[in-house]
Amino acid sequence: MVQTAIEWSQETVARCVATVVGARRSVRAFSPDPLRRELVEQILEEAATAPSGANIQPWRVYVVSGTVKDELADILVAAFRAGSAPAPAHFPDPLPDVFRTRLTDFGARYYASLGIDRNDTPARMRQTEQNFSFFGAPVGLIISIDRRLKPHSWIDIGLFAQNLMIAAKARGIDTCPQVAFAPFHDQIASHLHMPPEEVTAFGMSMGCGDPEAKVNQTRMPRERVQDFARILGFPAPPAPR
């Protein structure tokens, strides 16, 4: 049972969670309306209830808004234009076919929603650049981790991030997780005065999404449960009548 302050049935709790989890999307056009600091802190507090291996809680978060965010965005946009970060290697090369197919499908849907021809490299670069101004969001987050930790602990910051996005969405606040920041760790670390043991894992935009923006209306499909899960040891489901 989930204990709630008010008398909600288990079904109501399940529906609320499913509704919020299902409503989260990566949003890439925001209203500039600011978010209250207390609201952001509440979301972070809920995010920090995420599990972590041996409860080491490896997440570190830099929340930027106002001029701090704008200055960081200016630095990153300039660095992106100058090509001064190592080429991103978020995926292995070659990427196995099963993933390549999904990545290609993502690109087709994403650029179509923006009216960008997939062969129009300058237009795609301009769109990628939007990452670094946090897609116009009033709040940006940089999530870092101690570089001495092993990949195992990176799972923890992923769980933290998902908690954060769900806690935000439950309040009508949209987000976009962004690995695009990772190659710009040097510029970010310098601007935010990160200690040397920290490394930028990813960033995130946060604010109220613009519901009119076409890019926010795209839905990314998911594989079906029966295609990604093998469910073993249960009684066979009843034959359809």
Ligand X SMILES: Cc1cc2nc3c(=O)[nH]c(=O)nc-3n(C[C@H](O)[C@H](O)[C@H](O)COP(=O)(O)O)c2cc1C
Footprint of ligand X (CB under 6 A): 25-26, 28, 106, 131, 176-180, 202, 220
Shortest Å, Cβ 241 to ligand X: 35
**Helix ranges, the chain (H):** 10-23, 37-47, 66-82, 97-113, 121-129, 151-169, 185-192, 225-228
Sheet strand arrangement including 174-178: 60-65, 139-146, 198-207, 174-178
Shortest Å, Cβ 106 to ligand X: 5
Here the tokens at position 31 are 């209203």
Nearer to ligand X, 89 or 231 (CB): 89
Give CA torsion, residues 190, 160, 40, 126, to 10 deg. Answer: 60
Diameter of the chain by CA atoms? 65
Shortest Å, Cβ 202 to ligand X: 6
Nearer to ligand X, 65 or 200 (CB): 200
Shortest Å, Cβ 24 to ligand X: 7
Nearer to ligand X, 4 or 121 (CB): 121
Shortest Å, Cβ 170 to ligand X: 16
Shortest Å, Cβ 56 to ligand X: 20
Residue linked to tokens 């292995």: 92
Nearest to 131 by CA among 121, 142, 145: 142
Nearer to ligand X, 41 or 105 (CB): 105
Nearest to 48 by CA among 177, 145, 207, 157: 157
Give CA torsion, residues 22, 173, 49, 178, to 10 deg. Answer: 80
Nearest to 168 by CA among 207, 203, 199, 197: 207
**How far apart (Å, rounded) are the C-alpha atoms in residues 25 and 230?**
27
Nearer to ligand X, 109 or 147 (CB): 109
